[in-house]
Structure 1
Amino acid sequence: MTGLLLIACGNSALLKVDTGYGPDPQLPEPVRTMIPTVKVAPAQPWEEGQAPTAASGTTVRKFAGELDHPRWIHVLPNGDVLVAETNAPERPLRGELLGIKGKVMGFLMKRAGAATPSANRLTLLRDADGDGTAEVKTVFLDKLNSPFGMALVGGELFIANTDALVKVPYQAGDTRASGPVTKVADLPGGPLNHHWTKGLVASADGSRLYVSVGSNSNVAEHGMEHEKGRAAIWEFDRVTGIGRIFASGLRNPVGMAWQGDTLWTSVNERDELGSDLVPDYMTSVRDGAFYGWPYSYYGQRVDTRPKPPRPDLVATADKPDYALGNHTASLGLSSAQGNTLGGVFAESGMFVGQHGSWNRNPPSGYKVIYVPFAGARPSGPPVDVLTGFLSADGQARGRPVAVAIDRQGALLVADDVGNAIWRVEGPGTLASAPR
């Protein structure tokens, strides 16, 4: 294993990292190597008193610590914060299909802090005394199955498990779910379940629920029979649970957020085409649109690996709106509406949590960024919001995932290696009102 890791260096980036951002990123020719580029930052969590570095004019504090792999956040109307403490479920077929490559990747993910057993619970955090940190931490709901996305509609909290959309009753102030877990709809899961996370948002009127479902592979190398219902965003009727594919060809859509009445998503693009390809992206999502995966990327640039090719589908592929850098693992996505960070962080923009690369040399991501909008479209280069997750010697002291605006306009960031929720505050951010 060690020998394989030593030679698994692949190629190094030739382009500057900022060329992979924006509406028209540089897209060089693909680079194929016998051994994929592997550059994983080993997990070395924060020492006592350490914290990420906040953008000029803002400050950061630890909102909550000693969590178990916190991946996703949902802010409730009363200011309480639900955190999904979660990780991948058992996936026996994945190891079988990937063989030695799967064993290597499993070893690497363990070094990166991503192979811990799933806690399978939602934890409620409450800032009881209004000082900007959570004093109350209690289990809201446990015995779930790799939960991820959450959405509150009226008196019902919807949760996207890895294999099903479920719901529980909720009343303002609840610190523990008071009713039974009810299944709303099945979601693509199964023994392969390569991309296991399921994001979730509700429409403005609460009638529809949108679930993001990642692919079962990098580029359909196991065959399209394993990709049924995957690499897509699903739309479900909230009451009946009847669903349909809303948009497809999205390799691994994770975060979703509304900008006005338009749904946006952050997407992890494909690997093993070199350190300078392919940029992750965020894009507005059109009903019925196809975004290329696995047959093309960034619109209609053909990927020759999937067999048989589908030129008919490639001809229909939409180009994404805004690239987020090569291999940055851009997972978290939140509208900037209501933020009080001040300065360049206008409310017409998006915050993005970049979990960090494994298939790029040198590494990319490992930070939180802000993308400004003008009207309904991205309008300029990204701005760093929270950095310092990657140490000078290449250790991952933390890895940001979910981002969310709390009731006072601060930015909450889930850090699944640091086992913490960070709170970024601006001069206009108020402390919580004491409860």
Structure 2
Amino acid sequence: MVSRVACALAFILPVLVKANPAPQRPPPPSNTVVCARAPAPSFPVSVASGFRAGPVLGGLTIPRGLTLDSRGNLLIVERGKGVTGHTVDNNGCVTRSRVVIADTDLNHGIGLSEDGTKLFASSSTTVWSWDYNPRTLTATNRRTIVRGISAEAHRTRTLVLSKENPNFLVVSVGANENVDRASIDPAVGRSQIRSFDLRRIPNGGAVFNGPQGRVLGFGIRNGVGVAEDQRGVVHTIDNSLDNAFRVVGGVQIDVHNDNPAEGIFRLGRASNPSNVFAGAPFCYPVWDPSLITDSNMRIGDVFSIEPESEFNDGFCAANAQRPAALLPPHTSPLDITFGVNSDSSLYVTLHGSFNRAPAQGYKVVRVPGRYTRDGWVPTADPRSNSSFTNFLTNTRDEGLCEEGCFRPASLVWSPNGRHLYVSSDTTGEVFLARRV
């Protein structure tokens, strides 16, 4: 989202100073040659200390979801093309590429079974699996796993194969409009994340909002970013409401420029869903309480867009789970992944959005955290608006991002934690951040 300070969170009015974190300096410019035969970046990037970053692939067709197979091959969903596979060397650089699945309906979601022999991918309406051979980068014998997904508005279907419980597949489905009123009922099958036991999928596939799908969380407007932590707990980050408002005395008051926050929610285990209510379509987390002038709100509280209806502030406070951590409004988080081994941070791709003046996002950020017996928790207070640090950013002023920028969509760590791959869909690139 566009900022007048390169790769930082913007202060647009003095009154907002308390609601916005202190501006962060971008990491130093990266030496962007990480692979000798890789293309130059469309836009230069900066990366955090201890890493080098640059493209490993360019000229791709809207690269979205990423995963790594059991041999370390990089698999990419290229929207409008299918799934492509790329062998990599010890430095993480691509040595060979081929089409694994040619299917123009595949648009985002991808995952692999724990044993690496089943590949999963999604269209707007359906999730399929294939028998997968990582040696030959081939996929055969397509089978329908989940069907009957609503295909309106938000059309990405994130997939997560549980490592703790390998028989379970997690599927995310967003709202069918900005305020999807019917989705307050989890039976509708929108604005929610469900878990499916792959041992109980009927012939022809399970209907998404049928009995085979158990609700991990609902009231999640568009939880594109979904990941399982090292303890087997599933988390999501919501793409929160656009054009946020409050209806007070019959008058619609605009509060959208710095509300609502993008919230990170804990959903429980894939094998034992928590049925968490995250608040949508009526309840959202506060980022800037100064814009909500009719009520005494604090950062991290949950506000209603219709405070004089039955879904009022009291309803939201009593029923909607507060996020575990907050990220800035209108940054459009599209993926999350947890660090591996001793790295206890959460990494988030902020794709960027123009539903704010100035806009912001267009980077990968790191949310420090720690592990308890019950899973990952962020280090920052849940009411903090400085829960993150910049990790991989554009070097150009975010105010120029309407003209073009690195826009991260998905990310995946190598098992040894040395390589982080990040797709940039609008520029057709995949970047590699390599530890040095």
Counterpart code for 1:211: V
Q: Which residue is 2:35 aligned to? A: none
* Partner residue in 1 for 2:379: 379
Q: Please tell me whether the aligned partners of residues 63 and 428 of structure 2 are also in contact (alpha carbons under 8 angstroms).
A: yes
Q: Quick one: percent identity of the two aligned structures? A: 24
The answer for the alignment partner of 1:211 in structure 2 is: 171
Give the paired residue count: 350
Tell whether the 8 Å contact from 2:53 to 2:431 is kept in structure 1 after alignment.
yes
- Find the counterpart in structure 2 of residue 107 from structure 1: none
- 1:423 partnered with 2:432: yes
1:105-124 equivalences under 5 Å are 119-124=80-85
Residue 126 of structure 1 aligns to a residue whose secondary structure is: strand
Question: Structure 1 pair 140/393, CA: closer, same or farther in 2 (3 Å)?
Answer: same
1:354 matched residue in structure 2: 350
Shift of 1:315: 2.7
Counterpart CA distance in 1 for 2:74 and 2:396 is 26
Does 1:335 find its partner at 2:338?
Answer: yes
Question: 1:281-335: per-residue Cα shift (whole Å, max 9, x none)?
Answer: 2121141111110121126421118977477576311111101111110111001
Q: From 159, 165, 182, give the equivalent of 2:121.
A: 159
Q: Structure 1 unaligned runs (5+)?
A: 1-10, 22-45, 87-118, 339-345, 428-435
Aligned to 1:433: none
Contact 1:366 1:389 in 2 (8 A): no
Matched, 1:173 2:135: yes
Q: Is the 8 A contact 1:82 1:125 kept in 2?
A: yes
Q: 1:59 aligns with which of 52, 63, 79?
A: 52
Mark the CA change 1:225 to 1:249 in structure 2 (over 3 Å): closer, same or farther. Answer: closer
Deviates more, 1:270-279 or 1:140-149: 140-149
Cα deviation for residue 250 of structure 1 reads 0.5
The answer as to 2:78 corresponding to 1:85 is: yes
Structure 2 SS opposite 1:73: strand
Contact 2:340–2:415 at 8 Å: present in 1 too?
Answer: no
Residue equivalent to 1:31: none
Shift in Å at residue 246 of structure 1?
2.1
CA-CA distance at 1:47 after TM superposition: 6.9
Q: Offset of 1:174 from its aligned partner?
A: 2.8
Worse-matched range after superposition: 290-299 or 224-233: 224-233
TM-score (norm 2): 0.74
Q: Please report how far the alpha carbon of residue 390 of structure 1 lies from its aligned counterpart in structure 2 after TM superposition.
A: 5.2
* Structure 2 residue corresponding to 1:149, chosen from 109, 128, 134: 109
User: C-alpha distance in 2, partners of 1:189/1:212?
Assistant: 11
Aligned counterparts of 2:379 and 2:95: Cα–Cα separation in 1: 39
Say whether 1:15 aligns with 2:11. no
Contact 1:391–1:397 (Cα < 8 Å) also in 2: no
Task: Find the aligned partners of 1:80 and 1:306 in 2 and give their Cα distance.
Answer: 54
Pairing of 1:175-324 with structure 2 (within 5 A): 175-177=137-139, 179-190=140-151, 193-203=152-162, 204-220=164-180, 228-241=188-201, 242-259=212-229, 260-273=231-244, 274-286=256-268, 287-298=274-285, 300-304=302-306, 309=311, 315-324=318-327
Q: CA deviation at 1:120?
A: 4.0
**Secondary structure of the corresponding residue to residue 218 of structure 1:** coil
1:412 to 407, 411, 421: 421
Distance 1:291 1:139 in 2: 38
**Structure 1 residues 49, 308: closer, same or farther in 2, change over 3 A?**
closer
Q: Does 1:76 align with 2:81?
A: no
In structure 1, C-alpha distance between the alignment counterparts of 2:308 and 2:75, rounded to whole Å: 40
Check whether the contact 1:254–1:331 (CA below 8 A) recurs between aligned residues: yes
CA deviation string 1:315-371 (max 9, x = no partner) = 311111101111110111001114xxxxxxx61111100000211111111110111
CA drift of 1:175 comes to 1.6
RMSD of Structure 2 on Structure 1 (CA): 2.8
Tell me how far 1:278 sits from its aligned partner. 0.7
| 1:146 shift after superposition | 3.3
Residues 359 and 398 in structure 2, CA contact (< 8 A), matched pair in contact too: no
Question: Cα deviation per residue 1:219-275 (whole Å; 9 max; x = unaligned)?
Answer: 126897999201100111112232132210111101211221211112110011221
Q: 363-372 vs 149-158, which deviates more? A: 149-158
* Alpha-carbon distance between aligned partners in 2 of 1:328 and 1:393, rounded to the nearest angstrom: 14
Write the distance in 2 (CA, Å) between the matches of 1:320 and 1:149: 24
- Residue aligned with 2:319, SS: coil
8 Å contact from structure 1 (residues 51, 60) kept in 2 = no
Distance 1:406 1:48, change over 3 A: closer
1:121–1:139 CA contact under 8 A, matched in 2: yes
Normalising by structure 1, what TM-score?
A: 0.74
Give a deviation string over 1:196-237, Cα, whole Å, max 9, x none: 001111222311111111111111268979992011001111
The residue type equivalent to 1:74 in the other structure is: T
Per-residue deviation, 1:397: 2.1
- What is the CA–CA distance in structure 2 between the aligned matches of 1:187 and 1:405, rounded to whole Å? 32
Per-residue CA deviation, residues 129-159 of structure 1 (Å, 9 max, x unaligned), is 4443212121110225233222211321122
For residue 19 of structure 1, what is the amino acid of its counterpart?
A: N
Higher strand share: 2
The one-letter code of the counterpart of 2:433 is V
Do 2:67 and 2:412's aligned partners in 1 also have CA atoms closer than 8 Å?
A: yes
Q: What SS does the corresponding residue of 2:423 show, helix, strand or coil?
A: strand
In structure 1, how many angstroms separate the alpha carbons of the residues matched to 2:42 and 2:92? 16
Q: For the Cα contact (< 8 Å) 1:366–1:390, is it kept in 2?
A: no
CA contact (8 A) 1:145 1:163 kept: no
